[in-house]
């Protein structure tokens, strides 16, 4: 059913360091040093530089999140991107790895302009993920992360939204809507609240970085790390009346089997949703950026979670040839038919470590992203 894709090459080996793993409310845990309980594919994906019609690479978009709209891939810039890239949707032709168009800088609907969060959402908000609403192709969700540079809220707003259960400035879920002329508007905003028993911790720059939405309105939110240094996945039910309130939206924690680590940093930096046609099971695909892994998580808990080891190469159109990246930093992924597409967010403190020869230096100095893909494998979902 699932076919090979020309930009990805398979190298199938036994994946060491994997055992069945679970979250805090489960009995088992991943042991990083244990022998593998399952085997899985180590995938080598060859990335292509994303170009524009005027440049061989797109300049410093700090691409975060990835969705699909009308056959094109769509990403968003975070708060550290070049100013001209921020608060826009960027559309990419996946077949040519070309930026086709960028949206307007997001407008703010009246209710958002009058909210406590107007200043932050107007001035370089750190937008870190995207999710499309399968019930309405014109509705997209994004989420904010680090707002420490924004300063405090007004006294009234700070009092109203002080009990975040996490950071001092609340994480914001933002609803975007595209109209007929492709203008994008921030129509609604709600702050997220994490119950204190979840022990999320106060980590402004290690917050929600992955989102995916199911047809039943369940929105999944991937957290980089909690107080114990563990990645987590939370959820919300976006019902018809969800946006009628401006109060906190309290997240839930679905009973998922996630890796648990004793040491190190293993954040979730992207989420995608896949519905297996043969079994009807729903799977979350999570990008573990620091580990160069994709985690395959059965939402129903019927299939053991798998950790797919990945290697990211670059197909250079110069004397550099193809080479292995030192640090890819995947921060967006989406399933389109039988292919998993991935995009990286150039990690500024590490990105220049990827330079293997002088001809590639300008691209890395421009903090240019790459587009990757791998074919889905039936074995991941069994």
Write the DSSP assignment of 23-66 as a string of letters: -TTSS----TTSPPSS---EEEEEEEEPB-SSSSS--S--EEEE
DSSP H/E element including 113: helix 110-113
pLDDT in tens, 288-322: 999 999 999 999 988 899 999 999 999 888 889 99
Rounded CA gap, 376 and 105, in Å? 34
| CA 84 to chain CA centroid, nearest Å | 21
Lowest-pLDDT range of 31-35, 38-42, 336-340: 31-35
> What does the DSSP 8-state code read for residue 4?
-
Question: Would the pLDDT of 199 be above 90?
Answer: yes
Question: Would the pLDDT of 36 be above 70?
Answer: no
Q: Phi, psi (5° rounding) for residue 266?
A: -135, 60
Average pLDDT, the chain: 89
As a whole number, mean pLDDT of residues 259-272 equals 96
**pLDDT given for residue 41 in this prediction:** 60
Question: Would the pLDDT of 109 be above 70?
Answer: yes
Question: Would the pLDDT of 39 be above 80?
Answer: no
As a whole number, mean pLDDT of residues 211-232 equals 97
Q: Which of 93, 175, 87 shows the shortest CA–CA distance to 124?
A: 87
What are the domain boundaries of the chain? 43-380
Rounded CA gap, 119 and 149, in Å? 12
C-beta of residue 94 within 8 angstroms of C-beta of residue 73: yes
Q: Name every residue whose Cβ is closer than 8 Å to that of residue 332 and which is 6 or more positions away in sequence.
A: 63, 64, 65, 66, 75, 129, 130, 270, 287, 342, 343, 345
First to last CA, the chain: 14
Residue 281 neighbours by CB distance under 10 Å: 17
Percent of the chain residues topping a pLDDT of 70: 89
CATH of domain 43-380: 2.120.10
The answer to pTM > 0.95 is no
Rounded CA gap, 47 and 41, in Å? 18
Residue 321 neighbours by CB distance under 10 Å: 11
**pLDDT given for residue 8 in this prediction:** 41
Instruction: Tell me the pLDDT band of 150, cut-offs 50, 70 and 90.
Output: confident
C-beta of residue 64 within 8 angstroms of C-beta of residue 332: yes
Q: What angle do CA 72, 74, 79 make, to 5 degrees?
A: 165
Measured over the CA atoms of residue 252, residue 255, residue 259 and residue 264, the dihedral's sign is: positive
């Amino acid at each position: 059913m699932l076919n090979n894709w020309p930009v990805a090459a398979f190298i199938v080996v036994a994946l060491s360091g994997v055992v069945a793993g679970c979250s805090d409310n489960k009995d088992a845990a991943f042991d990083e040093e244990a022998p593998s309980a399952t085997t899985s594919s180590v995938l080598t994906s060859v990335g292509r530089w994303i170009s524009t019609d005027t440049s061989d690479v797109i300049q410093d978009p700090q691409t975060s999140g990835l969705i699909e709209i009308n056959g094109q891939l769509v990403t968003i810039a975070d708060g550290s991107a070049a100013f001209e890239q921020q608060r826009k949707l960027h559309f990419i032709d996946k077949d040519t790895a070309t930026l086709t168009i960028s949206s307007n800088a997001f407008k703010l609907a009246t209710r958002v302009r009058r909210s406590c969060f107007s200043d932050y959402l107007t001035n370089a908000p750190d937008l870190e993920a995207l999710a499309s609403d399968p019930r309405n192709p014109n509705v997209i969700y994004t989420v904010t992360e680090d707002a420490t540079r924004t300063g405090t809220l007004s006294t009234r707003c700070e009092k109203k939204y002080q009990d975040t259960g996490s950071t001092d400035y609340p994480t914001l879920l933002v609803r975007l809507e595209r109209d007929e002329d492709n203008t994008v508007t921030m129509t609604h905003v709600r702050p997220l609240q994490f119950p204190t028993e979840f022990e999320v911790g106060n980590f402004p720059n290690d917050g929600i970085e992955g989102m995916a939405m199911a047809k039943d309105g369940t929105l999944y939110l991937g957290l980089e790390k909690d107080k114990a240094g563990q990645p987590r996945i939370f959820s919300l039910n976006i019902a018809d009346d969800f946006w009628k309130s401006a109060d906190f939206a309290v997240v839930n924690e679905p009973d998922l089997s996630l890796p648990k680590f004793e040491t190190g940093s293993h954040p979730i930096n992207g989420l995608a949703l896949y519905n297996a046609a043969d079994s009807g099971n729903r799977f979350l695909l999570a990008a573990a950026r620091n580990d160069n892994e994709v985690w395959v998580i059965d939402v129903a808990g019927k299939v053991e979670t798998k950790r797919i080891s990945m290697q990211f190469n670059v197909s250079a159109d110069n004397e550099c040839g193809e080479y292995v990246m030192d640090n890819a930093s995947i921060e967006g992924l989406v399933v389109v038919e039988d292919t998993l597409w991935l995009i990286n967010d150039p990690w500024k403190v590490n990105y220049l470590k990827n330079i293997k020869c002088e001809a590639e230096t300008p691209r890395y100095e421009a903090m240019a992203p790459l587009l990757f893909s791998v074919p889905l494998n039936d074995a991941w979902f069994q």
